[in-house]
Amino acid sequence: LPPAPVAESVAQLRERGRERLSVPRDAFVILFFGRLHDLKGIDMLLAAAAPLLVGQRDVRLAIVGPEDGVGAALQRQAQALGVQDRVVFHRGVGECGKAEVFAAADVFALTSRSEGLPNAALEAAAAGLPLLVSEDCHLPEVAEFEAGAVCSLEVPTITAALARFRD
């Protein structure tokens, strides 16, 4: 029998993901992955990440997913906050690209206003990422099993949680 194909290393996936997202190799990457919809609370995440994006030059926020009503507003918000050069907007990716994007990230953030069972958070956890989720994601297990943090949907709380991941 021929040898089984060798799985791609995480380092290779990470490098390709960072190339896909156009982020520096040494950047700390906060990832949102999902539909760009108001219920996802991406505006709260962007506002909360802004102090880190301004204050720590190696931090990037990657917002990855298909447009669903708020993409243009989020781009305007990033510009108003003066962080447009540190925020990457990327349309959705296929299954192969998803592995690269998750590997490129250092933390997955979902500051949703309402979720049933957030598949993207489960996929990020399966990819080994620490999670930052809002209480409205209904995933108390994240805190219970020390897989990340669960926070209220308030900008200062989200900012503090993101800073803890960075440290």
For residue 76, what pLDDT is reported?
98
Please return the burial class of 124, using the count of CB atoms within 10 Å of its CB with bins 0-12, 13-18 and 19+. Answer: buried
C-alpha distances in angstroms, 89 versus 14, 62, 105, 147, 161? 18, 6, 14, 26, 22
Tokens of 79: 């510009």
For residue 6, what pLDDT is reported?
53
- CA atoms of 72 and 39, how far apart (whole Å): 15
Strands (DSSP E) contained in 51-91 are: 59-64, 87-90
Residues 138/115, Cβ–Cβ less than 8 Å: yes
Query: How far is Cα of residue 105 from the mean position of the Cα atoms in its chain?
Result: 7
- CA atoms of 125 and 150, how far apart (whole Å): 14
Q: Per-10-residue mean pLDDT for the chain, 167 residues long?
A: 63 94 96 97 98 93 97 98 97 86 97 95 96 97 97 97 93
Query: How far is Cα of residue 76 from the mean position of the Cα atoms in its chain?
Result: 19
